[in-house]
Amino acid sequence: MKKKINIIFLLDRKNDWIKKYLIKNFNKKNKKYNFKIEYNYKKIKRQNIVFILNYTKILPKSFLIKNNLSLVVHASDLPKGKGFAPIQWQILENKNKISICLIEADEKFDSGAIIEKNNFYLNGDELGTEIRNIQATETIKIILKFLRKYPKFNRTVQNGKSTFYKRRFPKDSKLDINKSLKKNFNLLRVADNDKYPAYFEYKRKRYVIKIFKTSK
């Protein structure tokens, strides 16, 4: 019987949106992997594999080199689109083809060698929760793709011009009332109804808009 692979998922916070998807796909009944979710890298002892997901801090080299592998999942066609909220920024750029990469973690933002790369497609009408579901599905898919091959895998050094997406803030959900609803639609799609809802300002007042799909 093969020895189970020890996996740690390092997340930024306990209420991270992807946590429930990890629990569903890597539960205790899984016969192939011993998995644990951690939020503080200092508590992690040497592991076979650490997947660093939605983690916004740069990790020290001393942590990265002590694990057999420290890996990051990033949803852009690297080296294009390094940084924060890549899917949301690409939707705002009217892109429906999205790349997702599994890369080695290093001391810079999203600059490590690419180990796996997939593409997926959006219809152009998905809203916040649907986008998260798709992102989670594709994240799990590329992780499992890698694990099926492990310990065999290839590294490809990133090549080409790098671009960087900045962190999104509540002010980035502001609608331009001088534009049509159609032109504002992608911004409505990526706005977070609970944390950072879309809004507009008119006559010195702020109006919040939350968007949902309904049946006809």
Burial class (CB within 10 angstroms; exposed 0-12, middle 13-18, buried 19+) of 130: middle
Domains, the chain, with CATH or none = 5-165 (3.40.50.170), 170-209 (no CATH)
Condensed to tens digits (0 to 9), the pLDDT of residues 144-186 reads 999 999 999 999 999 999 999 999 999 999 999 999 999 999 9
Condensed to tens digits (0 to 9), the pLDDT of residues 201-210 reads 999 999 999 9
Confidence of residue 14 (pLDDT cuts 50, 70, 90): very high
| Cis before 151 (ω within 30) | yes
Condensed to tens digits (0 to 9), the pLDDT of residues 74-130 reads 999 999 999 999 999 999 999 999 999 999 999 888 999 999 999 999 999 999 999
